[in-house]
Structure 1
């Protein structure tokens, strides 16, 4: 699965120690659109790539208003960067993670950036931005395919929270609800997590997990016909989905967080909505923060423990596991995604305190190297 901007609930943030946000205050405004200078003090918070060579990084840097978002763009795999027009975002006042997704057609490049409370869209590759106006108190997961961009919206009314899924074509900002995906639970905005797994045509697996409340999940034979299924993880477990192909649709179930450890189980479905355990138990080292599929037999788990960014991977469908990244003094792994079987990226760390780093692999996840921003 292409890993798609997971929104971790505050209850999970407390368990995971996540507090992604922005940098310190007191410097000049970010450079203008097309500038080749990365803002001083820039800390990456999210990343999205449409190919091994072309990608974007959303981050925060000191500015006159405290901390302001900038978006960097590379056309050569991170060897050099240009700065897009600022999207007008600031770090979440609640310490929520930030999101960035990109999609590209022959003529149009569309970006969506969010700090969870505010969301903006650009349909000219970052040359201009405008607000996304949806009935949502908070934005959860974001997903992008060549066919469009998908957004999980959470709306609160008292102790009742409603989750819906929205779609806009990749060429414009014209949002409409995705039929069949809607749930009402008794929980709070601070304790809900949503997750979207896509194939090239759109969403195939969607999940919602709320602290202390039953989880929900939706699946379908194609992106236009999603129906609710039994949530494959236990009531108190978080669920991270990954779509590899029709015969390999994965879910990672994580529960019982402790001091730098969390129980994890990998399950697989042949497309019938029933998920069964597969392989051996993944390492419990690290509190789960992300999940990605690279192919039918290769999956990656992002985690954090002891202020380290951790990636566990299996290259044989869960029979054996390797820890391929242990980045000390960073933080939780987010935006873990593979552009092809060899190339992948992730962000590890806390943008709010300047420990975040963008890592890249060119050998399918066996080794990871930091990108120089």
Structure 2
């Protein structure tokens, strides 16, 4: 058993490189975005037949192409995704392959997990010390982690696992982490990584709901969504402090089926939803809801905030009729288009 555990925690890597940086970017279409500050961010997308990673250090006023792993742009419902924890540590995935950099994108290594079956990579996040990734197979769904610095292995977090393939979400705030795994109408489980390490707790939403997580300071948020219909979905915002039990804050707008969710601060959250032929951003401040952004067309992805004021979201993508990046500097009250 000890040998098997060691093998499971092992990491095999293979250096990879993308197309030459000298190739000009002419038809870039954004698929995913990640920001570490209001000024420094990345946009991952497609330029023709290549996957391309762009970087900005001035809030999106200008962009430069950086090294990109040799990952083929996906087809169907798959989507390229990027997440940077800080200036040097980041990951890229298409859902079936995972690449990591600890050199600011100068070099990329593919992650190979010694599992007996093919896996898919779900939600990705990072706390102050580690990457956190949900890894799913037909047999089970695990939370894996790896250190942000050095060359440490990817390993499953003991106990944070569900039998069978499951959906899930991760939220972090500093060193605190929150994870939910669920199969709607079957099973929902929830874990908190706090002062006592990883502990299982009562789920914030019941088994009939999908759960999206957010976190700000010591407060954890959950958006419970259920009963999807033609362009609507019931939504309830819940909150818990220091790993305590969740209580209802308010009922969210019904318009749109929930896509994404993020906490800008302990008082402000934003929900991405799609329906009635449009993408919606609903915003709650102290539990009171408004809808500051509605655009005809595709969903809005990668909703996230770097501080209480600055956040970003991707509208559509390379496989949609539009692929656009938007930003906010007032906690989600207004959103502006950022040219990449």
Fold similarity call, TM over 0.5? yes
Kindly tell me: are residues 210 and 40 of structure 1, through their superposed partners in 2, closer, same or farther at Cα, counting changes over 3 Å?
Answer: farther
Report Cα offsets for 1:267-312 as digits up to 9, x if no partner.
1112344211113x11011110001111111111111123422110
Structure 2 residue 73 is the aligned partner of structure 1 residue 91: yes
Report Cα offsets for 1:136-171 as digits up to 9, x if no partner.
610011102332211111122xxxx31111111112
In 1, distance between residues paired with 2:339 and 2:85? 24
Per-residue deviation at 1:351?
2.4
Unaligned runs of 5+ residues in structure 2 are 1-17
Per-residue deviation at 1:93?
4.3
1:130-145 correspondence to structure 2 within 5 Å: 130-134=109-113, 135=115, 137-145=119-127
In 1, distance between residues paired with 2:183 and 2:34? 26
Which of 321, 326, 338 does residue 359 from structure 1 map onto? 326
Question: Stretches of 4+ moved more than 3 A in 1?
Answer: 30-33, 91-94
SS in 1 for 2:258: strand
The answer for the alignment partner of 1:243 in structure 2 is 215
Structure 2 residue 291 is the aligned partner of structure 1 residue 323: yes
Which of 30, 42, 48 does residue 44 from structure 1 map onto? 30
In 2, distance between residues paired with 1:146 and 1:270? 19
Per-residue deviation at 1:216?
1.6
Which of 183, 186, 197 does residue 162 from structure 2 map onto? 183
In 1, distance between residues paired with 2:203 and 2:180? 8
Name the TM-score, length of structure 1 as normaliser.
0.80
Name the TM-score, length of structure 2 as normaliser.
0.88
In 2, distance between residues paired with 1:220 and 1:342? 26
The answer for the alignment partner of 2:264 in structure 1 is 294
RMSD of aligned alpha carbons:
2.0
SS in 2 for 1:367: coil
In 1, distance between residues paired with 2:272 and 2:161? 28
Give the paired residue count.
319
Which of 221, 233, 240 does residue 194 from structure 2 map onto? 221
The answer for the alignment partner of 2:10 in structure 1 is none
Q: Larger % of strand: which? A: 2
Per-residue deviation at 1:94?
4.7
Kindly tell me: are residues 235 and 97 of structure 1, through their superposed partners in 2, closer, same or farther at Cα, counting changes over 3 Å?
Answer: farther
Residues 253, 264 of structure 1: 8 Å contact kept: yes
In 2, distance between residues paired with 1:145 and 1:226? 13
Residues 298, 314 of structure 1: 8 Å contact kept: yes
Unaligned runs of 5+ residues in structure 1 are 1-29
The answer for the alignment partner of 1:233 in structure 2 is 205
SS in 2 for 1:366: coil
Residues 217, 228 of structure 1: 8 Å contact kept: yes
Per-residue deviation at 1:41?
2.5
Report Cα offsets for 1:68-88 as digits up to 9, x if no partner.
311110000000001112221
Per-residue deviation at 1:124?
1.5
The answer for the alignment partner of 1:256 in structure 2 is 227
In 2, distance between residues paired with 1:36 and 1:103? 27
Structure 2 residue 237 is the aligned partner of structure 1 residue 266: yes
Residues 262, 284 of structure 1: 8 Å contact kept: yes
Per-residue deviation at 1:212?
4.2
SS in 1 for 2:319: helix
Residues 112, 122 of structure 1: 8 Å contact kept: yes
Which of 57, 61, 72 does residue 54 from structure 2 map onto? 72
Which of 90, 94, 104 does residue 115 from structure 1 map onto? 94
Q: Which structure's relative contact order is higher, taking Cα pairs within 8 Å and 6+ residues apart? A: 1
Per-residue deviation at 1:266?
0.5
In 1, distance between residues paired with 2:59 and 2:119? 35
Per-residue deviation at 1:211?
4.1
In 1, distance between residues paired with 2:198 and 2:70? 34
Structure 2 residue 279 is the aligned partner of structure 1 residue 309: yes
The answer for the alignment partner of 2:169 in structure 1 is 195
